[in-house]
A and B are shown apart, each in its own frame.
Chain A
């Protein structure tokens, strides 16, 4: 019998990938969305682009609302159009996401000010 000597992180990784795959099989994610999330998962676990991790964390830190739907879709589109194997592509995506997040935060803070 094989004994697992690895860290729980390894199990967390496979579990995440399984959830993404299961959602795709059930049709709750499209093939492209599933592929994008699996690519992101590998990228984050490999730790090759901490900047991307940070940029995505910053987006997720503040929940969006109906006013940020459009910008959230652009962020999603940016991620889906990024070749995760190309570090140049990833770096470019990080720049775009940071820019979009600034705009997103501005919208959310305007909402706060107007009491929306």
Chain B
């Protein structure tokens, strides 16, 4: 065996470190979990830090980190040159146990890492006291307390902002907005540049300034009223026009169905024609052109009929690390598998929506979640969903009768849907955006105003 257990086994746990690395080499789930929750310096042994870092590098490039791949990577970086190090790596690679509870070993590695930090803290302060006994005791204690408080926080990333830090954040944000406003006036001649990802609708861009990182956007629509079309319209704006990688999770459609939808959206050829194959040569050529656009985009699709919140977190983390996705669209929440069959529908929805919000904030990406509206246009568990969301939209059909009766609607040539902004944490809400939805081609756009 290459490494021997350290003398101080309270602070160092050789077996846990090996188990985590072994898990990362052999199981993708373990890789995702460890990549997300550990840092290089959580490992005590320098060699384990190196191996962890190598695995993470390969993982980010979507390369399966086999023992041979690690050796190749190490060679290209000119590291792991001695036999003892290779022996340890081989030992780790060989000693994987299928079905291992990786979370248990991760916790152990994290706990030992925190204990070592605590021990270093005690040593440092002990030395400080012995070197500088002139410093006021209050100062010494306050300083130690602050450090200890950060150390005992449940999550390492948790932090409390001091007044100075918060003021700095506020100042930077106002300065950024002030400069942007000036830029709008001078450079863009009044056209608002976006703060986040494009929504695909000029009027919605104007109200929201785009979908921002950490935002949870909820879009509600009744069955057959454009949920998937809206999702793919958003994906087109983000992943094709803006070239930002996006992950699309669909719980009810197959990959063929999704691909066919894209064919129609991108070629503007009627969906029914694509389905039947009744295409003219020029339409066929348009469709091929559309797919060429899709293949060069940042659209990643994951059709998953049995999606659970856990699987969603796992796949979200993976695509963030490997493709640097900027947005996730979940189409749609009602088809997700129940975590606990005893939960009521609203409890399940609440849990999923909370998970989505947390995912967006932790991974710095915008998350859009599609939900189904009841026949009367209301939403099940609406209040709770609204609380969690940053932007809540409802896609509602507009009937010819409504247009006839409503003077405002008559100001648009071809409105047939309205997008109601039910909540907007960062701007105006309670307003409607007029939409034209071409169902035959699955295309959406802002409704065109009647020219005067």
Contacts and interface: CB of A to CB of B under 8 A. Distances in A.
A38 B68 contact: yes
Interface of B: 15, 18-19, 22, 63, 66-69, 71-72, 75, 81, 83, 86, 90, 93-98
Contacts of A13: 67
A22 B90 CA distance: 13
B87 to A, nearest CB: 8
Contact of B94 (A6, A22, A34, A45): A6
Nearest to A15: B90
Contacts of A42: 66, 68-69
A11 B66 CA distance: 13
A60 interface: no
Nearest to A85: B63
30 contacts: A1-B15, A2-B18, A2-B22, A2-B95, A5-B98, A6-B94, A6-B96, A10-B93, A10-B96, A14-B90, A14-B93, A14-B94, A15-B90, A17-B67, A17-B68, A18-B86, A20-B68, A20-B71, A21-B71, A21-B75, A24-B75, A31-B75, A35-B75, A38-B72, A39-B68, A39-B72, A42-B66, A42-B68, A45-B66, A85-B63
B71 A38 contact: yes
A91 interface: no
Contacts of B97: 2, 5
Contact of A4 (B15, B63, B94): B94
A62 to B, nearest CB: 28
A44 to B, nearest CB: 10
Contacts of A24: 75
Given A4-B95, A17-B68, A17-B90, 12 more contacts: A2-B18, A5-B98, A6-B96, A10-B96, A14-B67, A14-B94, A20-B71, A21-B71, A25-B81, A34-B72, A39-B72, A41-B68
A21 B86 contact: yes
A72 to B, nearest CB: 23
Task: Name, among B19, B66, B67, B81, the residue most crowded by chain A CB atoms within 10 Å (CB to CB).
Answer: B67
Contacts of A17: 67-68, 71, 90
A14 B22 CA distance: 13
Contacts of B83: 22
A47 to B, nearest CB: 13
Contacts of B67: 13-14, 17
Contacts of B18: 2
Contacts of A4: 94-95
A80 to B, nearest CB: 14
Contacts of B71: 17, 20-21, 38
A34 B74 CA distance: 12
B47 to A, nearest CB: 15
Q: Which 8 A-B pairs have the closest CB atoms?
A: A38-B68, A14-B90, A2-B95, A17-B68, A21-B71, A42-B68, A42-B66, A17-B67
A11 B68 contact: no
Interface in A27-75: 31, 34-35, 38-39, 41-42, 45
A10 B94 contact: yes
A46 to B, nearest CB: 8
A35 B86 CA distance: 16
Contacts of A45: 66
Contacts of B86: 18, 21-22
A21 B85 CA distance: 12
Task: Name, among B63, B68, B72, B90, the residue most crowded by chain A CB atoms within 10 Å (CB to CB).
Answer: B68
B66 to A, nearest CB: 5
A4 B19 CA distance: 12
Contacts of B75: 21, 24, 31, 34-35
Contacts of A41: 68
A32 to B, nearest CB: 11
B229 to A, nearest CB: 35
A24 B86 CA distance: 13
Contacts of B68: 17, 20, 38-39, 41-42
A14 B86 CA distance: 10
A1 B81 CA distance: 26
Contacts of A25: 81
B329 to A, nearest CB: 29
A11 B72 contact: no
A88 B242 CA distance: 31
Contact of B15 (A2, A15, A18, A20): A2
A18 to B, nearest CB: 6
Given A2-B19, A42-B66, A18 B95 contact: no
